Amino acid sequence: MTAKPIHLGNAGGAIDIHDDDVYFPFSSGRFAYDCVACNAKCCRGHGFLATVGAELATQLRLRPTLPLFLEPSTPEGAQYLMHNCAPGCFFLSSEGRCDIHASEGPAAKPETCRLFPFNDFLRVGRTLVVRPHGSLCPLQVTPPGVKSECSSHQALKEAMQRPGIFARIRQAHATSDAIAVERTIVHLSEQAAGCTNYLQLVAQMVDAQRSAMGEAGSAAFVPNVQRTIAFARQLLSTPSLSELENESEVCHTMMAMTPFLRSYFVFQVGEAPQATNENRVLPLAPIKIPFALLSVFLLAVTARQSGMRDITFQTISQLQRDFLSLVTMMADLDSVLVLREGVPVELRDFGRSPHAVALTRATRALLPTIQSKRRARLGDVLLEHAPGDPLLRGGFTKDIARIIVGKVVDLGEERRARHQGGWRARSRSQVERWTLRYVDDQILSLMFKQIQGRP
């Protein structure tokens, strides 16, 4: 029997998504949640979309005065945004239950609530990507061998099939083999559910990507990982390789979350985002994504070593969001990088950092004219110019990540990755490169002090 398709009613024209074209970046049944135990956090002050028709009619019948709090969310008026207020939704009872659910049944709930927390949707060609919400729901990773109906792929598909999805869904871009590779990694993450060595999954991800590219495995993987971990430890005081062997709980959570975390690097929404925006994922070559995930793992273990007792889905998801530029740069610590041609690094903004001169020297070291002769790994460049004090060194490393991510490429790729921006950006880039090469550090330091003194 053919499965009922999922109807998308607001996808630039209604379309139907068939069963094989749905991708979940997590293993079926791997995540669980308990609304009563978490005291319905998602229902406390957060808005939701109300679809015109039976759904909105039910809400207005139960709460006739709601129109004051509704705003159209689409030009055609097919959906309205409900402006909820703290401390709870208009339909949240004093017992922490949904009045719509209680009186009308779960199918009558707003689409946002009915599908939550698995309602972060993307379209990649004909494929519908279904992700859990990254922060609002305290998802739990089930123990090895235990499955939860809460995240059963079949149950989630059935919920989406009736009556369909009417929220606006973003279109994402990815390489042609991305979905196939990601499905393989979901399978690998499930196989590794009981494993206590996250580096094993990192190696498998690299092999899966190389296989998709028609390449054999690389003997350089182990030294790449060892140097990446060593560079990170020297720059950020993250754990050593031997310390990672005793982190079974963090490893278990990371194993389950890996496909979900990868999805933010693999699927790019809209145009290439700006490097300065911490909440947007920056393009990263697919073969380097496993090293970005290794970096997230290092940060998660560091958080636990810093006193955080429980490293959960929410913890790791927030670490990736908050340190996005940093983990993206950390994926390249073992790479030989140069500044992209025609891309300004915004030298004038360096003055807003207390590490302005060190940032200038590190950026200068990435000029193609210097790197073509020196061929220094990024980790070595940063260590050469980083402050000696661990507190200052961490701040410097985070600042340089915000500056260079999206503006550097592997040595030899700088012309192929030439920026396609306008003449202003290219001209500014040329001026900055000349300044980095020929203007003395003392003069730049005076300039930065003037910038720092401005309100």
Query: Both 186 and 312 in a single domain?
Result: yes
What domain count does the chain have? 3
pLDDT string in tens for the chain (455-residue length): 567 999 998 756 689 999 999 999 999 999 999 988 888 889 998 999 999 999 999 999 999 999 999 999 877 778 999 999 999 999 999 888 999 999 999 999 999 999 999 999 999 999 999 999 999 999 999 999 999 999 999 999 999 998 899 998 999 988 878 999 999 999 999 999 888 999 999 999 999 999 998 887 667 789 999 999 999 999 999 999 999 988 999 999 999 999 999 999 999 886 544 433 444 456 789 999 999 999 999 999 999 999 999 999 999 999 999 999 999 999 999 999 999 988 888 888 888 888 999 999 999 999 999 999 999 999 999 999 999 999 999 999 999 999 999 999 999 886 665 655 677 888 888 888 898 899 888 888 887 777 666 54
Query: Both 246 and 263 in a single domain?
Result: yes
Residue 170: strand pairing partners = 122
Backbone φ and ψ for 128, nearest 5 degrees, come out as -100, 120
Preceding omega of 110 cis (within 30 degrees of 0):
no
The per-residue pLDDT for 13 is: 66
Query: Both 309 and 440 in a single domain?
Result: no
The per-residue pLDDT for 163 is: 86
Query: Both 24 and 145 in a single domain?
Result: yes
Query: Both 297 and 343 in a single domain?
Result: no
The per-residue pLDDT for 104 is: 96
CB-count exposure of residue 206 (10 Å: 0-12, 13-18, 19+)? buried
Domain boundary among 173, 190, 221: 173
The per-residue pLDDT for 283 is: 74
Preceding omega of 87 cis (within 30 degrees of 0):
yes
Residue at 287 is within a domain: yes
Domain boundary among 173, 198, 222: 173
Range of the domain at 155: 6-173
The per-residue pLDDT for 453 is: 60
Residue at 1 is within a domain: no
Query: Both 326 and 369 in a single domain?
Result: no
Domain boundary among 305, 330, 355: 330
What is the value of pTM for the model shown?
A: 0.92
Query: Both 23 and 135 in a single domain?
Result: yes
The per-residue pLDDT for 176 is: 78
The per-residue pLDDT for 421 is: 62
The dihedral sign for the CA sequence 369, 329, 217, 183: negative
The per-residue pLDDT for 448 is: 75
Query: Both 13 and 157 in a single domain?
Result: yes
Query: Both 121 and 237 in a single domain?
Result: no
Residue at 442 is within a domain: yes
Is 206:285 a contact under the CB 8 Å cutoff?
Answer: no
